[in-house]
Amino acid sequence: MSEFDLIIRGGTVATASDVFRADIGITGGKIVQIGERLGGGAEVVAADGKFVLPGGIDSHVHFSQPSGPGIVMADDFESGTRSALFGGNTTVMPFCLQQKGVPLRESLNAYHALAEGNCYTDVSFHLILSDASESILGQDLPALVADGYSSLKVFMTYEGLRLSDGEIIRTLDVARSTGATVMVHCENEDAIRFLIARHEAAGDVAPRAHASTRPVAVEREATHRALTLAEIADVPVVIVHVSNGAAIEEIARARTRGVKVIGETCPQYLMLTADDLDGMNWEGAKFVCSPPPRDKNEQIACWRGIETGIFDLYSSDHCPFRYDDVHGKLNPRGRASFRHIPNGIPGVETRLPILFSEGVVKGRIDLPRFVALTSTNHAKTYGLYPQKGTITVGADADLAIWDPTVTRRIRHADLHDGADYTPYEGMDVTGWPTTVVLGGRVMIRDGELVGHKGDGAYRPASIRRSAASPASMEKQGQ
Ligand code: DUC
Ligand code: ZN
Ligand code: ZN
């Protein structure tokens, strides 16, 4: 009998803290040995000249999420996790939207039914809390946190979804007592409504107006308010999809006051601008997401946040709608006004290659920082560490083997999601994950899918282990 089920041989291994040459021995889905010249593998994957990284964890994706009357999300769990896998991810964290009047547990059961047997990656859920009533905060939520649903997102915008400041602070208080982690979407809904009315009255209804009605100021103000509420509740908070320098400054200032804040940004804020919403023939609809892409200066500010450590998390916010589709971006109401274009863009498959190419290959960040931003910090923030997010004995054997020399032009025709476009069409990247291993099983070998739907499984998340950010958890060896 072989000593190992699988050996990854000869690669350069990187974690969030180290880069070293080693073989990795895997048995029973776990990493059991890391060393030199390991022998006795039932299966061997040669990784000479390649980087062996923890599989990506994309902790901000939306699959099969109800998105308004007549609108259908382009990805379900099958297409969404397949696309994620091809992009070097082994775990994704979609959102379970609480439908008003429906018990959270019932909403979760429906998402489990959609995921069960359909996933190519492992999956763990966040909740979206749209009803912060006393009974939900007092009973339902604490019970769910204890059961492995330990993170939830609250919105300061969107009709029917946004919570009041009072509801947010009471939610943060429950997070404090239960160890849950709260993610906040920071945009000022009343200011947005005012601006939408003004633009529509002026007949300015094209996609570009989406960016004009959600300016930096609405995000900056809401970010400040969310951080202030977290400060008063005395609990860590995650500020998701940060798009600009002013919001980054709010995060930095809050940290100097002692607020434990984890910041997330996304590829769209590093690579796109509001000018992309200007496309002819309503093509700008392809880039409508919230917060919207900004300008070159805000891109630079976000890159600085990636480089300097302001951001702990880099996620896709994959929220795919087909473009040329009456159930997607070009739905009849969306053709009449930007206000009805569904918010969100695809990106789960391109997230890692974009940061690898623009970040690591161009020398903005090193490999350990890439691993921290794309995998380790996600596992630490959302209760999946150290089973996930690192390469160590005892961890799940979730690995992405990168060819750092391969060059590719991103084309939607080569991607695996259910949308009909990518916002990054024509972008040239260097480096791509060519082999992906999930729980010791080779899922993609040299770019070919060899794993199966259903090989990915649901993974419950534990509660926050520390009140600290991922970086300070690293120092404590957690
Ligand atoms: N904004 C969100 O808040 N969620 C999904 C997509 C988007 O654009
Ligand atoms: Zn959001
Ligand atoms: Zn989102």
**pLDDT digits 0-9 by tens, 390-425:** 999 999 999 999 999 999 999 999 999 999 999 999
Say which amino acid occupies 326: V
Phi-psi region of 179 (alpha: psi -120 to 50; beta: other; left: phi over 0): left
pLDDT of residue 477: 40
Atom of ligand 1 nearest to the CA of 343: 8
Nearest protein CA to atom 6 of ligand 1, as residue:
344
What amino acid is encoded at 249 in this protein? Answer: E
Output the CA angle 210-254-366, nearest 5 degrees: 80
Q: What's the confidence (pLDDT) of residue 101? A: 82
Say if ligand 1 is within 6 A of residue 315 CB. Answer: no
Domain ranges of the chain: 1-478
The one-letter code for the residue type at 387 is: Q
Q: Which ligand is nearest to the CA of 343?
A: 1
- Specify the pLDDT at position 476: 39
Distance from the alpha carbon of residue 79 to the mean position of ligand 2, in angstroms: 21
Q: How far apart are CA 453 and CA 118, in angstroms?
A: 5
Ligand nearest to the CA of 60: 3
Q: Give pLDDT < 50 ranges for the chain.
A: 472, 474-478
Q: Among 290, 318, 340, say which to mutate for ligand 1: greatest number of ligand atoms within 8 Å of CB.
A: 290
Residue minimizing CA distance to atom 4 of ligand 1: 344
Give the DSSP H or E segment for 222. helix 216-233
- 290 CB within 6 A, ligand 1: yes
For the Cβ of 153 lying below 6 angstroms from any atom of ligand 1, the answer is no
What stretch of H or E contains 89?
A: strand 89-97
| Helix, strand, coil % in the chain, rounded to nearest 5 | 35, 25, 40
Query: Which among 59, 317, 340 is the best mutation to test ligand 1's pocket, defined by most ligand atoms within 8 Å of the CB?
Result: 317
Distance CA 456, CA 151 (A): 20
Rounded to the nearest whole angstrom, what is the distance from the C-alpha of residue 267 to the centroid of ligand 2? 14
pLDDT for the residue 475: 42
Q: In whole angstroms, what is the distance from residue 379 CA to residue 470 CA?
A: 9
Ligand nearest to the CA of 291: 1
Of ligand 1's listed atoms, the one at least distance from the Cα of 185 is 3
Task: Please name the residue whose Cα sits nearest to atom 2 of ligand 1.
Answer: 290
Ligand 2 centre to CA of 188 (Å) is 12
Distance 473 CA to ligand 1 centre (A): 29
Answer yes or no: is the C-beta of 289 below 6 A from any ligand 1 atom: yes
Closest Cα to atom 3, ligand 1: which residue?
A: 290
Out of 58, 59, 61, 62, give the residue to mutate to test ligand 1, the one with the largest number of ligand atoms within 8 Å of its CB: 62
Residues lying with their CB under 5 A of ligand 3, a single-atom ion: 317
pLDDT of residue 469: 61
Q: Is the CB of 185 under 6 A from ligand 1?
A: yes
Q: Which pLDDT tens digit goes with each residue over 44-54?
A: 999 999 999 99
pLDDT at 99 (0 to 100): 85
Q: How far apart are CA 81 and CA 353, in angstroms?
A: 16
* Token pair belonging to 39: 């022998």
C-alpha 54/C-alpha 152 separation (Å) is 25
Number of the ligand closest to the Cα of 268: 1
CB of 264 closer than 6 angstroms to any ligand 1 atom:
no
- Ligand 1 pocket residue status of 244, Cβ below 6 Å: no
* Residue with CA closest to ligand 1 atom 1: 290
Quick one: which atom of ligand 1 is closest to the CA of 288?
A: 8
Determine the distance separating the centroid of ligand 2 and the alpha carbon of 266, expressed in angstroms.
11
CATH assignment, 1-478: 3.20.20.140
Phi, psi at 283, each rounded to 5°: -65, -20
- Find out whether the beta carbon of 319 lies less than 6 Å from any atom of ligand 1: yes
- Asked if 152 contacts 183 with a C-beta cutoff of 8 angstroms, the reply is yes
Q: Which residues of 108-128 are buried (b: 16+ CB within 10 A; e: fewer)?
A: beebeebbeebbbbbbbbbbb
Total-model pTM: 0.97
Q: Residue 381 is encoded by which pair of tokens?
A: 């923030």
329 CB within 6 A, ligand 1:
no
Rounded CA-CA distance 288/276 in Å is 9
Residue owning tokens 């005012």 = 194
How far does Cα 65 stand from its chain's mean position?
A: 15
Q: Which atom of ligand 1 is nearest to the CA of 62?
A: 5
What would you measure as the largest C-alpha separation in the chain, in angstroms? 75
